[in-house]
Structure 1
């Protein structure tokens, strides 16, 4: 691994590939890849709104090494739920990461709808909780103040989990929600163990994520910045006895030229082998998942799946090896890797 990091800090040498790939094979880490479509406002052609094109893309994503796809459409929460159900219906193994937030739908209604989607998909649903609605059309659902936003999310998630686990109706009176006879008769296969994803950088956001998140979506940054955020998240989770239960995901944009705008992500430039090496520098921190953004056309999806994902996944899968512990390496920031907005 030191040779890999050294190669990155010095810049790319194509003759170095053959000597580095064997070392990649020594690092069998369970890396997953998630596809993040561009939002409607950022995309020339909306990802989910052309039935035939979407079917083609979903097939390429499912066959190209991606395990999950994020549903995060600017049309709003209810549209997200409809799109998630459609994607799950059109695929057989792809998991859907559904972007969701508190304040639009009452917890009892949301719990029933989410359980229904999870049940119909055979347990392929993941809930991605964000702090605020996606656009100003939902402004009336926003509580005043950052702390209040996260307090409401906390209560909302507590109620969802309770609704997914209780075998009898219950009442609840809280700061944001009042429930009488709350009950979900038909639970999803995951029940209250439905995977929750969260993010954020403030102390308030990390406190709530430390209590509820199974996967934490990191903000893009240098290797040192990402490591520091991971340490903060683990510290917040440790307060709830969950430090060892968290997994980490990092948004990444893979490209060979000028990076596109849109989702904030770590930019990884260069040919496939170089991109794979750049990702390994982050994987060494203990990151379990790369969220690939800016790959929207069928050609782009097929290329990334066939080249970068295949190279990284096949190399790491050759052997079983322990994941290097965070802080084991202190690499210089690669020239080809940078945080981008």
Structure 2
């Protein structure tokens, strides 16, 4: 299976020596344009467009970026519940056609109750996951129904609904989800295509893949898997570890714009898992480095792989062997690391995955 490489585009130039988050702080159209073009040129398949209750609107961000790129697709983080699912289905199908298939959706239900409340949503998280499952069900009906349909559920009710536009991608754009709670896993197993996970050690990753495959199989579904990492690269292994420690020191620095400290509390079950791995050891499987996850409360994709491009590519290919065929990678120097990944890491990763596929086929 060809490896899929995903990046993440920010909307404004970051501040600070080490950038953890890239989707807050206003918007700069020139920066967004050049950052998306850097991903396009570097060979990424998709770029994540993130979501917070204060950040620029993701569909419009992706629309602008798509207009200024040639082939890059956009993984738009989308929180169900703020617009009608029938309208969302038409919006997504329209984007899909206008870009000839350059959209995927990452379904999120919000890590923080407090942040959800900023957008007027006061439902607890378990309810949000049930609502999201129903939302996806209605969207899929709108995407596939040849005639008008009715739907009545716990959260949504429509009568005589119909969409004149079905997706460009069949049967619909890929639906990603993430999470470790029972609500997240139940929703994803029944409705989503790609289970997106933060970087964890190899053995627990293999267990999670097996468990989720069994969940999805109960619905006759075969999911695929994505894993997120922060590669920290340098020409030599020693220089890579030195760079990793400089980044950690910047994140821990008092008064740093990142605003993190060792007392940062995890927001969700996925973050708790990472903090447990960090407590068990600084480094796992030789290159998976967890101190930045520990320092930030495991927010913002902070599982790091440290080494030369060759070493990090080999480490990622160990996950590919387990069934992780999609990787979201971004750096702490976001723009420059995007260029560096395209030059040094992505070609090695694609070549290694292709070689593994050939060996498996033979």
- TM-score in same-fold range (> 0.5): yes
**C-alpha displacement at 1:138, in angstroms?**
3.9
User: Could you tell me which residue of structure 1 aligns to residue 176 of structure 2?
Assistant: 197
Which has the higher mean CA deviation after the structures are superposed, 230-239 or 57-66? 57-66
CA gap of 1:206–1:77, structure 2 versus 1, over 3 A, is farther
Q: Name the SS for the 2:231 alignment partner.
A: strand
Structure 1 unmatched runs, 5+: 1-28, 325-341
Q: Distance in 1 between matches of 2:109 and 2:51?
A: 15
Q: Within 5 A, what are the aligned runs for 1:1-341?
A: 30-37=2-9, 42-43=20-21, 49-75=27-53, 79-132=57-110, 135-138=115-118, 140-146=120-126, 148-190=127-169, 192-242=171-221, 245-255=222-232, 256=240, 257-258=243-244, 259=247, 262-294=299-331, 297-317=334-354, 320-321=357-358
Q: Name the SS for the 1:161 alignment partner.
A: helix
| CA RMSD between the two structures | 2.7
- Say if 1:162 and 1:192, in contact at 8 Å, map to a contact too: no
CA gap of 1:247–1:213, structure 2 versus 1, over 3 A, is same
Q: Distance in 2 between matches of 1:45 and 1:201?
A: 23
Q: Distance in 1 between matches of 2:176 and 2:23?
A: 27
**C-alpha displacement at 1:113, in angstroms?**
1.1
Number of matched residues? 293
CA gap of 1:206–1:43, structure 2 versus 1, over 3 A, is closer
**C-alpha displacement at 1:91, in angstroms?**
1.6
Listed one character per residue, the Cα deviations across residues 129-161 of structure 1 (whole Å, up to 9, x for unaligned) are 012277345453242351x22211111000000
**C-alpha displacement at 1:49, in angstroms?**
2.7
**C-alpha displacement at 1:87, in angstroms?**
1.8
CA gap of 1:45–1:150, structure 2 versus 1, over 3 A, is closer
CA gap of 1:75–1:140, structure 2 versus 1, over 3 A, is closer
Q: Name the SS for the 1:306 alignment partner.
A: helix
TM-score normalized by structure 1?
Answer: 0.77
Q: Distance in 2 between matches of 1:273 and 1:47?
A: 35
- Say if 1:199 and 1:205, in contact at 8 Å, map to a contact too: yes
Q: Name the SS for the 1:291 alignment partner.
A: strand
Structure 2 unmatched runs, 5+: 15-19, 233-239, 252-295
TM-score normalized by structure 2?
Answer: 0.73
Q: Distance in 2 between matches of 1:228 and 1:318?
A: 25
**C-alpha displacement at 1:276, in angstroms?**
1.2
